[in-house]
C-alpha cells in the first residue's frame, strides 16, 4: 500500500480557504417552506461545489432537481470490484441563529485566554475544556453576531480537501468513491427527495460530528408533534363561561411538558420534549414539539403523554378542541449499523491508523446518515472538530479538521 507523505500543513492549505469561503454563503434552511431546498442560498453553495469538483477533473458530477450534489471518483486499476464507499455532508445551516453575513475569525496560535465576541458574548476556556486544549493551535470562531456554520461546512471542506488530495496524488490506490452533499438536513426534511436510485454506495459516512475522535453509530428516535388548538370565540367583554382562548390553551399545554424531560435538563441517554414554536390567536393556535428518545418504547410513552395532555387541556377549556398529529423524522440507526459491523470497524481502524484515539458516542440529535441507514445504506458519523453548534459561540479547531480529513483519506485507501 502506498505510504503518502501526508501532513497537517498540506491538509490545512486545502481546508482553510474552502471553509472560510463556504461559511460566507447564507444557506440557512427554512422549516416553513415545503420545497427542497427550502432556501436559495443552498443552490448557490451547491453550484460552487459542483464547479469545484469539475475543476478538480472529476467528470461524473451532477446536481439533481432538488439540489443534491453527487460526484464519483472512479476506482484505481485493480480495485474495480470493491464496494463503493460514500461520504456525505449537508449544505444548510440551522435556523436557530442568523447565518447571514458570517464573519469568520481566524485565530492562529491561540493564546488560551477569553475571546470577547459581540453583544457581551465570550468564549471562555475556563468553562470549555475543549477550547482550553486548543492553546497554541489554530481555531476559527464567529464574531458573535451570527453562527459560524461549521455545522456542516466543516464537513464539506474536509470531504473536498480529501478529494483534492486524492486527485493530486493519483498513485494512491482506492476503490470507487461517492461524494454527496444534501440540502435541508437541519429541518429534517431533506431526505424524502433523496435520489436513492442514483446512489451506488454500499456504505457511507456522514462527516457531521463534533470533537476529535468522536464516532457516532446511534442516535435518537425522532418525532415531530404538531398540536392544533381550536378555541371558542366571543367578544371578550361577554366571555364569561363561553370563551375558550386557543392561545391560552396552547400555553397551558406547553406548561404541562415535564421540565425534567427537557433538552436543558437531560443528557446521555435521556430523551426529551422540546417545544420549538408556538403561535395563535383566540380562535386557533398551534404548537410544534420535538420528541426525542433512544428507545422506541420511550417514544411511545411520550406520544401517549401528549394525548393525555390534550384531554386535560380540553377539560380545562370547555368548548375547545386539541388535535395531536405526530410524524417520524428519523429512527435510531444503531440496530441497522449493528447488522453490518464491518462499516464501523473500518472507521475505528482508520482513526487508529491516523493516530486518533476514537470513542463511540451517541448522537443527541440525528444526521442525514440516520435516514440513509434506515433506507439501507449503513452510515455512521465522523467528527468535524466543531463545537457549540447552532449558536453564536460556535467555533472549530483547524487541527481537528485536519484529523478528520486524515480519517476520510484512510477510509478511502482502505487502511
Residues with catalytic annotation?
A: 92, 185
CA torsion sign for 67, 68, 74, 80 is negative
Directed axis angle between helix 246-256 and helix 296-316, to 10°?
140
Rounded Cα gap, residues 175 and 198, in angstroms: 18
Rounded Cα gap, residues 391 and 97, in angstroms: 6
**At CA 160, angle to CA 192 and CA 412, rounded to 5?**
90
Task: With CA atoms as reference, report the closest residue to 370 among 235, 155, 223.
Answer: 223
Q: Do the strands 221-230 and 69-73 form a parallel or antiparallel pair, or are they unpaired?
A: unpaired
Give the three cell numbers for residue 352.
Answer: 487508529
Give yes or no for a contact between 100 and 27, defined as CB atoms under 8 angstroms apart. Answer: no
Give the three cell numbers for residue 248.
Answer: 391560552
The CB-side HSE value for 339 (13 A sphere, CA atoms) comes to: 10
Give the three cell numbers for residue 31.
Answer: 422549516
Give yes or no for a contact between 122 and 96, defined as CB atoms under 8 angstroms apart. Answer: no
Task: With CA atoms as reference, report the closest residue to 52 among 170, 151, 206, 179.
Answer: 179
Give yes or no for a contact between 263 and 257, defined as CB atoms under 8 angstroms apart. Answer: no
Give yes or no for a contact between 287 and 275, defined as CB atoms under 8 angstroms apart. Answer: yes
Rounded Cα gap, residues 271 and 262, in angstroms: 8
Amino acid at each position: 500500500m502506498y505510504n503518502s507523505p501526508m501532513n497537517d500543513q498540506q491538509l490545512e492549505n486545502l481546508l482553510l480557504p474552502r471553509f472560510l469561503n463556504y461559511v460566507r454563503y447564507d444557506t440557512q434552511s427554512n422549516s416553513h417552506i415545503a420545497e427542497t431546498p427550502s432556501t436559495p442560498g443552498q443552490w448557490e453553495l451547491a453550484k460552487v461545489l459542483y464547479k469545484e469538483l469539475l475543476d478538480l477533473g472529476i467528470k461524473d458530477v451532477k446536481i439533481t432537481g432538488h439540489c443534491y450534489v453527487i460526484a464519483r471518483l472512479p476506482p484505481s486499476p485493480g480495485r474495480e470490484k470493491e464496494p463503493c464507499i460514500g461520504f456525505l455532508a449537508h449544505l444548510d445551516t440551522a435556523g436557530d441563529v442568523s447565518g447571514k453575513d458570517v464573519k469568520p475569525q481566524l485565530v492562529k496560535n491561540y493564546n488560551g485566554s477569553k475571546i470577547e465576541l459581540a453583544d457581551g458574548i465570550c468564549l471562555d476556556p475556563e468553562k470549555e475544556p475543549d477550547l482550553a486544549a486548543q492553546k497554541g493551535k489554530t481555531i476559527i470562531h464567529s464574531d458573535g453576531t451570527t453562527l459560524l456554520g461549521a455545522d456542516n461546512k466543516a464537513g464539506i471542506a474536509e470531504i473536498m480537501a480529501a478529494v483534492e488530495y486524492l486527485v493530486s496524488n493519483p498513485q494512491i490506490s482506492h476503490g470507487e468513491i461517492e461524494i454527496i452533499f444534501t440540502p435541508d438536513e437541519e429541518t429534517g426534511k431533506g431526505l424524502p427527495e433523496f435520489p436513492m436510485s442514483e446512489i451506488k454506495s454500499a456504505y457511507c459516512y456522514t462527516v457531521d460530528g463534533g470533537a476529535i475522535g468522536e464516532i457516532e453509530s446511534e442516535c435518537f428516535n425522532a418525532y415531530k408533534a404538531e398540536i392544533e388548538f381550536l378555541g371558542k370565540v366571543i367578544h371578550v367583554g361577554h366571555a364569561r363561561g363561553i370563551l375558550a382562548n386557543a392561545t391560552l390553551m396552547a400555553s397551558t399545554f406547553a406548561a404541562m411538558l415535564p421540565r425534567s424531560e427537557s433538552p436543558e435538563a437531560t443528557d446521555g441517554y435521556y430523551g426529551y420534549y422540546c417545544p420549538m414554536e408556538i403561535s395563535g390567536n383566540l380562535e386557533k393556535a398551534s404548537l410544534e414539539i420535538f420528541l426525542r428518545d433512544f428507545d422506541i418504547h420511550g417514544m411511545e410513552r411520550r406520544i401517549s403523554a401528549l394525548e393525555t395532555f390534550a384531554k386535560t387541556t380540553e377539560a380545562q377549556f370547555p368548548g375547545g378542541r386539541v388535535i395531536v398529529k405526530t410524524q417520524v423524522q428519523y429512527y435510531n440507526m444503531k440496530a441497522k449499523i449493528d447488522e453490518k459491523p464491518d462499516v464501523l470497524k473500518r472507521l475505528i481502524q482508520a482513526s487508529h491508523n491516523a493516530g486518533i484515539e476514537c470513542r463511540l458516542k451517541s448522537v443527541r440529535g440525528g444526521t442525514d446518515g440516520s435516514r440513509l441507514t434506515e433506507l439501507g445504506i449503513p452510515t455512521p458519523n465522523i467528527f468535524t472538530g466543531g463545537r457549540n453548534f447552532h449558536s453564536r459561540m460556535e467555533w472549530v479547531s483547524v487541527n481537528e479538521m485536519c484529523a478528520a480529513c486524515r480519517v476520510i483519506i484512510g477510509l478511502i485507501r482502505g487502511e
